[in-house]
A and B are shown apart, each in its own frame.
Chain A
Amino acid sequence: QVQLVESGGGVVQSGRSLRLSCAASRFTFSNYGMHWVRQAPGKGLEWVAVIWYDGSEQYYVDSVKGRFTVSRDNSRNMLYLQMNSLRPDDTAVYYCVRDRGGRHYFDYWGQGTVVTVSS
């Protein structure tokens, strides 16, 4: 069974940085696009970023452009999200998700990691 395990969440002050990691296993990681999706407390899902299977392209939601960077290491089956200049409205559970077929739908989700940005 596919496994996605996020780590790196925590409590951080506004303006600081945090790096999330996602360890992927039990599938050929280098064949799949990967995304980050977040969910603020009591709110709905929000797509954050995508990185193509080979790392050649990345795209972001407007609210994080210039602050967040998604990357991957296919040799280590790892996905990352570098988050800089964090704001209180970045507080959320961050999910690592697998893209099935390159059509931006998500067949496997991690358990999520909690990021809390204090002001």
Chain B
Amino acid sequence: QSALTQPASVSGSPGQSITISCTGTNSDIGAYNWVSWYQQLPGKAPELMIYDVSNRPSGVSNRFSGSKSGNTASLTISGLQPEDEADYYCSSYTSSSTLFGGGTKLTVL
């Protein structure tokens, strides 16, 4: 199965909002509300930021939010901060397996 599709890079200035899209098919994102998002800082393991499309784990800033429409999920980061600069990955359940997106590098200008 093919990976989910994410933009390779996005950028924004401190204080701005950005949105990262994640496009799948009606067999993964479109079929289940089991989309999650991960932040990976350089040299570190990924960290769960959003699960079940729009839920935040305890301790994750409310500047991070998720949504889904059809076969596309989105991660929005509001009030960008320098420490948000990282790689972001979406993932979705599909048929007893998991698909990841290719990753998006967020640059805070």
Query: Contact between A45 and B34 (Cβ–Cβ < 8 Å)?
Result: no
Among candidates B48, B97, B100, residue contacting A45 with C-beta atoms closer than 8 Å:
B100
Within 8 A of A (CB), among B45-69: 45-48, 51-52, 57
Among candidates B3, B34, B51, B97, residue contacting A44 with C-beta atoms closer than 8 Å:
B3
Expressed in whole angstroms, the Cα–Cα distance for A105 and B57 within the complex equals 11
Interface residues on B, range: 20 to 34
Min CB distance A2 to B, Å, is: 12
> Does B91 sit at the interface, judged by CB under 8 A?
yes
Listed by A's residue number, 20 A-B pairs whose Cβ atoms lie within 8 Å are A37-B100, A44-B89, A45-B40, A45-B91, A45-B100, A45-B103, A46-B100, A47-B91, A47-B100, A50-B96, A62-B1, A103-B51, A104-B34, A104-B93, A104-B98, A105-B34, A105-B48, A106-B36, A110-B45, A112-B45
Give A contacts to B, CB under 8 Å: 35, 37, 44-47, 50, 57, 59-62, 95, 100, 103-107, 109-112
